[in-house]
Amino acid sequence: MSYQVDERGYYGEFGGAFIPEMLYPNVEELRRNYLDIINSDDFQAEFHHLLRDYVGRPSPLYFCERLSEKYQARIYLKREDLNHTGAHKVNNTIGQILLARKLGKQKIIAETGAGQHGVATATVCALMGMECKVFMGEVDIERQKPNVERMKILGAEVIPASSGSRTLKDATNEAMRYWINHPTDTHYIIGSVVGPHPYPDMVARFQSVISEEMKLQLKEKTGSPNPDAVLACVGGGSNAIGSFYHYLDELDVRLIAVEAGGMGVNSGKSAATTQLGGMGILHGSKTLLMQTEDGQVTEPYSISAGLDYPGIGPQHAHLKSSGRVEYIDATDEEAMTAGIELSKLEGIIPAIESAHALVALSKLKFAKEDVVVVNMSGRGDKDLETYIKWGKY
């Protein structure tokens, strides 16, 4: 069983590139070139130089004494929250902007929901002196003001998406439309392991640095590169793929992905795609997505904006259907409680997305000597207002 993409761009029955004909030249240019560029020595040297000196990698692997005591297992956090810009997303935007430059592109576009990917993209555009346009739903612009201003300070133009529900999927549609009309000078930086092939594979490769470092750090700290389990939250699925990547073929490592249950999986207000979704096509790939009986995409819901996505990357759809990764869910209530618990026990306020991954500690059974790594995809600064509104701390 292979868990990686095949040469047709598929993961089992999921994946592919379902795109309008007018987008074909852009996506085909990427597909033909991405592996040669990414694997070249000078690309790798520059990528790793920026990850080290600009992002601050390797991110620490931190042993949580008090959390371990509470859950009776040896718990480590992979500290992606300590990266520049506060989350794992910058690993991907650095990789993609270097690739865009090698392809001779001068301009960058991106979509964003909560604004985290928009900020990570605006950041690397400032770094490289490239023009940056970020598409964002009007509703999200209204509810994510600080990130909108951050992007503007960094020199990006934020373009409101006013169609449909005026949220992330509409921003994605508008970015694709813009790309069709500007195929030669513009690269589209997608923010997760979603979209047409080769995006899911390309983003996974950039994020795989997370599990590459985990292996070295665990070897040093525990004597073995392999933990008993790795836990991560899933929106589109990029931080989870990054932290699972080098363990996919190591079947002794349990891999657990946590989706946003929202108000409860069957409440009608949820983003638990693998439980509620069926096969369909979303943003250019065949995958699992939440849809009505006649195939209209349904509005997802989660207290955490980063997990509020109606689909999941095609590699995850395959990992779910093959049974390699276990998918569970955490409700808003469970995630907020876990986030506040981590703050009090370890002095680390997590992003609410990352707090979903922590919920798995109480839902699964581990032995006392088990080594468990939780990927802390981001920090909680951006979520302060949500924590304050929640109030129970």
Q: Is 233 in the site for ligand PLP (CB under 6 A)?
A: yes
Q: In terms of DSSP H, where are the helices of the chain?
A: 24-39, 41-50, 65-71, 89-102, 116-128, 138-143, 145-153, 168-181, 199-207, 209-222, 238-244, 273-276, 314-321, 332-346, 352-358, 360-363, 384-390
- Cα torsion for 314, 317, 323, 326, to the nearest 10°? 110
What distance in Å separates the CA atoms of residue 303 and residue 311, rounded to the nearest whole number? 17
Of the residues 118, 195, 306, 339, which one makes contact with ligand PLP according to CB under 6 A:
306
Q: Does 237 bind ligand PLP (CB under 6 A)?
A: yes
Nearer to ligand PLP, 116 or 186 (CB): 116
Determine if 68 is a binding residue for ligand PLP (CB under 6 A).
Answer: no
Q: Choose the catalytic residue: 88, 117, 283, 318.
A: 88
Q: How far apart are CA 156 and CA 150, in angstroms?
A: 9
**In the complex with ligand PLP, which residue's Cβ is closer, 26 or 375?**
375
Q: How far is the CB of 296 from ligand PLP (least distance, A)?
A: 23
Build a one-symbol-per-residue string for 190-229: x at contacts with ligand PLP by CB under 6 A, - elsewhere.
Answer: --x-------------------------------------
Out of 48, 49, 64, 182, pick the active-site residue. 64
- Taking the least distance from each CB to ligand PLP, the nearer of 143 and 182 is 143
Nearest residue to 239 (alpha-carbon basis) of 355, 91, 123, 54: 91
Angle between helices 199-207 and 24-39 (to 10 degrees): 30
- In the complex with ligand PLP, the residue whose CB is nearer, 140 or 353, is 353
- Binding marks (x or -) toward ligand PLP, 80..99, rule CB under 6 A? -------x-x----------
Q: Minimal CA–CA distance to 187: which of 121, 88, 136?
A: 121
Task: Please tell me whether residue 354 binds ligand PLP under the rule CB under 6 A.
Answer: yes
Tell the smallest beta-carbon distance from residue 220 to ligand PLP (Å).
Answer: 26
What is the helix, strand, coil percentage profile of the chain, to 5? 45, 20, 35
SS3 labels along 194-227 = CCCCCHHHHHHHHHCHHHHHHHHHHHHHHCCCCC
- From CA 330, how far away is CA 263, in angstroms rounded? 9
Stretch that binds ligand PLP, among 128-136, 142-150, 209-217, 347-355 (CB under 6 A): 347-355
Among 157, 55, 165, 183, smallest CA distance to 113 is for 165
Identify whether 64 is a catalytic site residue: yes
The piece of 36-44, 126-134, 237-245, 360-368 that touches ligand PLP (CB under 6 A) is 237-245
Q: Which of 41-49, 231-239, 281-289, 334-342 is the region at the interface with ligand PLP (rule: CB under 6 A)?
A: 231-239
Binding piece for ligand PLP, criterion CB under 6 A, among 149-157, 264-272, 323-331, 351-359: 351-359
Question: Where does this chain touch ligand PLP (CB under 6 A) — which range of 2-10, 121-129, 346-354, 385-393?
Answer: 346-354
Burial 104-134 (b: 16+ CB within 10 A, else e): ebebbbbbbbbbbbbbbbbbbbeebebebbb
Q: Is position 236 an interface residue for ligand PLP (rule: CB under 6 A)? A: yes
Nearer to ligand PLP, 74 or 287 (CB): 287
Report the distance separating Cα 376 and Cα 66, nearest Å: 16
Out of 170, 308, 353, 383, the residue judged to bind ligand PLP by CB under 6 A: 353
Q: Which amino acid is at 146?
A: P
Nearer to ligand PLP among residue 148 and residue 234 (C-beta): 234
Residue 378 touching ligand PLP (CB under 6 A) = yes
Q: Please report whether residue 377 would count as binding ligand PLP according to CB under 6 A.
A: yes
**Is 88 noted as a catalytic residue in this protein?**
yes
Question: Residue 121: CB partners within 8 Å, gap ≥ 6?
Answer: 93, 97, 108, 110, 112, 132, 134, 156, 189, 191
Which spans of this chain sit near ligand PLP (rule: CB under 6 A)? 87, 89, 116, 192, 233-240, 306-307, 351, 353-354, 377-378
Positions annotated as catalytic residues are 64, 88
